[in-house]
Each structure stands twice: as C-alpha cells, then as structure tokens.
Amino acid sequence: MMIIVSGTLRLSPEDLAKLRDQAAIVLTETRAETGCLVYAFAEDLLEPGLVRIYEEWESREALAAHGKAPHIAAWHEALAGVTVLGRDLKLVEAGRAEPLG
C-alpha cells in the first residue's frame, strides 16, 4: 500500500526566500532515501509564500524512517527560525494507482 502525504506550508514570501537553500537540501536528501517515490515542494503561483507539498512513500515504515533522518531535523530547525503562518498535511493510504487517460 502506497502512502501519500499532501498538504501546504504557509510562510511570508520573505521567510520562504530565506528557506530556499535548506529546502533544496531536504528535497535532495529525501529523494535519495529508501522508500521515497516522490518528494516535492511547489510554490503556488497565485499565493506568494504558499508551498504545496506532495510525497509518495512505499510504506509507513519508510515514512517513519524519513521523520528520523538528520536532514529532517535540520529542516525543522530552519523552520523554527521563521514564522510558520500555517501548516496542513494529510496522510493518505492508497491501495492502487493506475495511469490516467
């Protein structure tokens, strides 16, 4: 069963700019993790400071290991240095996926 994490992180545009280098590190390191299928952040084009987050994991165990990784601790430390205006993440268990169209 595939695990999907999807949601948003809302920051001021200035704080988002401060986090770009750390975000690039967490993206690169996470994409190399065992069990990571997709790990992406996307800045919303119409709402400055709104980051859309999308992740796919092979299992809950892979996601749990991700949460304990050193680069995630560094990411949380970086987030503690800015004002997070909102955070909304959901975990979805997906039983089956198939191409659309």
Residue 66 lies in a domain: yes
pLDDT in tens, 84-101: 999 999 999 988 888 998
Residue 69 lies in a domain: yes
Listed residue (78, 76, 72) closest to 27, CA to CA:
72
Tally the domains of the chain: 1
* DSSP type of residue 24: H
Residue 99 lies in a domain: no
Residue 24 lies in a domain: yes
Residue 96 lies in a domain: no
pLDDT in tens, 38-68: 999 999 999 999 999 999 999 999 999 999 9
Q: Where in the sequence is the domain holding 80, given as residue range(s)?
A: 2-91
Question: pTM (2 decimals)?
Answer: 0.92
The CATH code of the domain that includes 60 is 3.30.70.100
Residue 100 lies in a domain: no
Residue 39 lies in a domain: yes
- 63 CB-near residues (< 8 Å, 6+ apart): 3, 5, 35, 55, 57, 91
Residue 97 lies in a domain: no
